[in-house]
Amino acid sequence: MSLSKLKAPKGANRRKVRVGRGQASGLGKTAGRGGKGQKARTGNMHFEGFEGGQMPLQRRLPKFGFHNVFRRELEEVQVADLEGLSGTVDAAVLEASGLIRGNRDGVVVLGQAELKAALTVKVNRVTAGARAAIEKAGGKVELVPAPVTMYQKAKAAKKAEQAK
């Protein structure tokens, strides 16, 4: 026995019944749907959640929650984690060192730990405690500006045009 000689057992593969193909087929005229009524009509009861005309559950229950499409999720890095790094620290350096994954909208530095090395940290946001710790060690913090959306660009252009 080999894979090339395998075949389905007799009667396993049946032809699809084509309903509504004339009286001789045995399923002509009403095509097996009986006579009249909602179930006999096309375009009814074929969608998810249909409850026979009763108000469906997903419409009866109260809606709640909100998803902000403009939310920016930032990767978090603790000041203590910056200890082993040197020079300029930005998102690329943090990703290479394995401190962040690089799949979010930016980086925020948190914490109040002590730093020994002077670092230049280029991130999107820094807490007051983290900024104090970095500057106390002789380093400095540079904030990366948030990316400007097309809407913001258009709004600024419109405002500049109105000012003229």
- Digit-coded pLDDT (tens) for 92-111: 999 999 999 989 999 999 99
Answer whether 74's CB lies under 8 Å from 40's CB.
no
pLDDT confidence of residue 147 = 81
Q: What is the pLDDT of residues 118-159, one digit of tens each?
A: 999 999 999 999 999 999 999 999 999 988 889 999 999 999
Which 3 state secondary structure label does DSSP give 101? coil
Q: In what order do the strands lie in the sheet with 140-143?
A: 88-89, 120-123, 140-143
Q: What is the pLDDT of residues 12-66, one digit of tens each?
A: 999 999 999 999 999 999 999 999 988 888 887 778 888 888 999 999 999 999 9
CB atoms closer than 10 angstroms to residue 120: 13
Task: Kindly report the pTM of this predicted structure.
Answer: 0.58
109-127 tens-digit pLDDT: 999 899 999 999 999 999 9
Q: Checking phi first, is residue 138 left (phi over 0); if not, alpha (psi -120 to 50) or beta?
A: left
Q: What does the pLDDT read at residue 44?
A: 72
CA 88/CA 83 separation, integer angstroms: 12
Position 60 scores a pLDDT of: 96
77-90 residue pLDDT tens: 999 999 989 899 99
Q: Which residue has the higher pLDDT, 3 or 1?
A: 3
Task: Compute φ and ψ for 125, nearest 5 degrees.
Answer: -150, 150
Which residue from 119, 127, 125 is spatially nearest to 145, judged by alpha carbons?
125
